[in-house]
Amino acid sequence: MIVMTRRIGESLVIETASGERIEITIQDAQANRVRIVALASKDVNIFREEELEEPLSYAV
């Protein structure tokens, strides 16, 4: 797991083992809500965690 700080307009890029890149940009932040934009190829599925049947588990 990684924890990082980003400001509005800043991005982070996730690169998979196969070379696929996913760019996440902070669009807006207010109180306890953050709006993000995810940019990825059409064959990459992006879900909210609560939509998944099995939640992600993190090794810490």
CA angle 18/24/26 to nearest 5° reads 170
Residue 50 CB-density burial (10 A; 0-12 exposed, 13-18 middle, 19+ buried): exposed
Of 6, 1, 47, nearest to 26 (Cα)?
Answer: 6
Whole-prediction pTM value? Answer: 0.77
Summarize the confidence of residues 23-30 as an average pLDDT: 96
**Spatial CB neighbours of 21, under 8 Å, sequence gap ≥ 6:** 13, 14, 15, 40
Name the more confident of 54 and 22: 22
Name the more confident of 57 and 31: 31
